[in-house]
């Protein structure tokens, strides 16, 4: 997790640096995250940044939430009539129960010490049958990739603090929040792709059920 002010400084270069770091994965993952017809859906881009999802997705209503003024200002440069940008802390902002059909969270879960809390909030904010789609770095099992993740990525890219999870931890967090996992796949050894659904017959999250 980098300090909030980091994004204030990096915002003008963020897209360029991210594409450079991710190479071909940048576009291929966006395609994969957006591989369905969402044109009639209400969507939340959680930690929307400069608009990787919110400025590309075709949707009836797009809400982008982020806590960085500078990232939101970059995002706002792309005008879309059905897009609302909200400044706020994802831990604190309240959405209505069942407000969204899809929630996207890209390259941001590692910023949160308690990402499971965001999963619980997302579950509440989704309609039954709604889905959360997540893409981010993760904790690889492979020793070489794990070394790279926990040295270069942790100390150079993320300035010492990041929260990454193994595939098993992801499955547990999603299940505990009440989701059914549809896809949980490591991508190129360094990233995780998640698609999980809030069941039509609402399950109680395990944490709430006790």
Ligand X SMILES: C[S@@+](CC[C@H](N)C(=O)[O-])C[C@H]1O[C@@H](n2cnc3c(N)ncnc32)[C@H](O)[C@@H]1O
Which stretches of the chain bind ligand X, using CB under 6 A? 7, 18, 47-49, 52, 66-68, 71, 89-91, 106-108, 111
Q: Least distance (Å) from ligand X to the CB of residue 91?
A: 6
- Cβ proximity to ligand X: between 68 and 122 the closer is 68
Q: Least distance (Å) from ligand X to the CB of residue 70?
A: 8
- Torsion of the alpha carbons at 151, 157, 163 and 165, rounded to the nearest 10: -70
Q: How open is the CA angle 200-185-107, to the nearest 5 degrees?
A: 90
Q: Least distance (Å) from ligand X to the CB of residue 88?
A: 6
Residues of the chain by 3-state class (helix, strand, coil), percent to 5? 40, 25, 40
Q: Which two tokens stand for residue 172?
A: 């547990």
- Cβ proximity to ligand X: between 14 and 170 the closer is 14
- Cβ proximity to ligand X: between 48 and 177 the closer is 48
- Cβ proximity to ligand X: between 51 and 140 the closer is 51
């Amino acid at each position: 997790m980098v300090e909030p002010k980091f994004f204030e400084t990096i915002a003008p270069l963020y897209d360029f640096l991210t594409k450079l770091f991710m190479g071909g994965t940048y576009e291929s993952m966006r395609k994969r995250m957006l591989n369905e017809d969402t044109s009639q859906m209400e969507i939340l881009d959680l930690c929307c940044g400069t608009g990787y999802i919110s400025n590309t997705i075709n949707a009836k209503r797009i809400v982008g939430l982020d806590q960085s003024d500078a990232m939101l200002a970059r995002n706002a440069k792309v005008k879309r009539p059905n897009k609302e940008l909200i400044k706020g802390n994802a831990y604190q902002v309240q959405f209505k129960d069942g407000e969204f059909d899809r929630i996207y969270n890209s390259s941001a879960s590692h910023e949160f010490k308690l990402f499971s809390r965001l999963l619980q909030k997302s579950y509440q904010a989704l309609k039954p049958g709604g889905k959360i789609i997540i893409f981010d770095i993760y904790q690889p099992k492979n020793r070489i990739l794990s070394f790279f993740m926990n040295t270069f990525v942790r100390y150079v890219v993320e300035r010492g603090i990041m929260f990454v999870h193994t595939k098993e931890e992801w499955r547990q967090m999603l299940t505990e929040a009440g989701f059914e996992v549809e896809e949980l796949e490591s991508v190129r050894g360094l990233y995780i792709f998640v698609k999980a659904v809030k069941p039509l017959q609402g399950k109680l999250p395990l944490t709430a059920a006790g």
